[in-house]
Amino acid sequence: MSGLERLKAFAKSPHHAWLALATVGVGIATAEPLYAIIGTAVYALGWVFGPDSSLFKKWLQKKQTIHTEAQATQEKHDFAQQRMKLYRSLSHPLQVNYDTLSGLAAEIERDLRENPNAAQALAVDTQLHQLDALMWTYLRLLHTEETIRNHLNRERHEDLPTRIREMPEEIAELEQEITGLETDGHKPGLLETKRRLLDSQRERLAMLEKRAVKLEESEANLELAESEQRRVVGLIKLLAGELKTASQDAGSFSRHIDSSANQLGQTNEWLAQLDELELDDGIEAFPQDAARRVGFSIPSGNRNPPPIPTDRSQPRRSKERE
């Protein structure tokens, strides 16, 4: 903190209030000009030495610590709310996928906490923070899959390839009709309208072709999101297996989880690019402070209910129960 900032903090502190009261306030209260002058002089000296006193510095440091902790708590709360929002945006099957992997991650956390050998050999909090980061990446991949799949369903509903195949014929017929009107020359108003229609159809075809290209890109992104999900699942399963043998090779688990964090660096960059292009742009980066864990579990009360069974499936399930 700079000297000017410390002076501003001193002006707002209780130390300044007591200084003013004990000097200027007492001097004025005596109704003696000399005491008022002395009080003012002492008050001025208080401004010189007060901001640098150990008492004020301790108070200021405590206040800054409380502010920092409150800010960190708020950031953790905001992140938890954001994670909950992403989770609740998932369909029930994808929520089940997250819950399943979260259960395996919880086993890893429990083993780290309870295994004394691993706890002595590994920086547990750091390792768990990296595990949180893996689960956050997995949740974002699930959210990416859900978002892209919904987008593809909307686009496929319009059957873009069919429209792109049909429109050139429509444009060609319109061009022939315009040529006939130009040769005839008796319907200038209709000719102008047909020309505008032709321009509109050409622009529409161009937009459909661009959407078709975007559709292919979205399909590729969906495949990549699903592949990266399988990759994260494989990494966490590997970590769970490595932890079982951590007593023999204490550094094995640490090396694998550090390697997994490095491997997912490009994945997170790709997700950030998708957020800028077509997905939610309000997703913040994963907190980097390993000393303040954000966890990965989702309270059970926030899960989406399973889909309602169709009429076709209900009789079969009833028969199975019988």
* Tens digits of residue pLDDT in 263-302: 777 787 888 777 544 555 556 667 766 556 778 888 776 6
Question: What pLDDT is stored for residue 96 in this prediction?
Answer: 92
83-87 LR contacts (CB < 8 Å, sep 24+): 83/136, 83/139, 83/294, 83/298, 84/298, 84/302, 86/139, 86/140, 86/142, 86/143, 86/283, 87/139, 87/298, 87/302
Cβ atoms of 6 and 60 closer than 8 Å? yes
Model pLDDT, residue 103: 92
DSSP 305: P
Q: What is the pLDDT of residue 321?
A: 37
Domain ranges of the chain: 1-78
Predicted local distance difference test score (pLDDT) of residue 266: 78
8-state DSSP, 53: S
For residue 319, what pLDDT band results from cuts at 50, 70 and 90?
A: very low
Tokens found for residue 101:
């992997």
Compute the average pLDDT of residues 148-173.
Answer: 86
What predicted TM-score, i.e. pTM, was given to this entire model?
0.68
What is the average per-residue pLDDT within 173-185? Answer: 88
Q: 211-257 pLDDT, tens per residue?
A: 888 888 889 999 999 999 999 999 888 888 877 765 545 566 667 77
25-84 per-position pLDDT tens digit: 766 777 777 767 887 777 777 677 666 777 767 877 777 777 766 766 777 778 888 888
At 15, give phi and psi (nearest 5°).
-60, -40
For the stretch 79-135, pLDDT in tens is 888 888 889 989 999 999 999 999 999 988 888 777 655 545 557 777 888 888 889
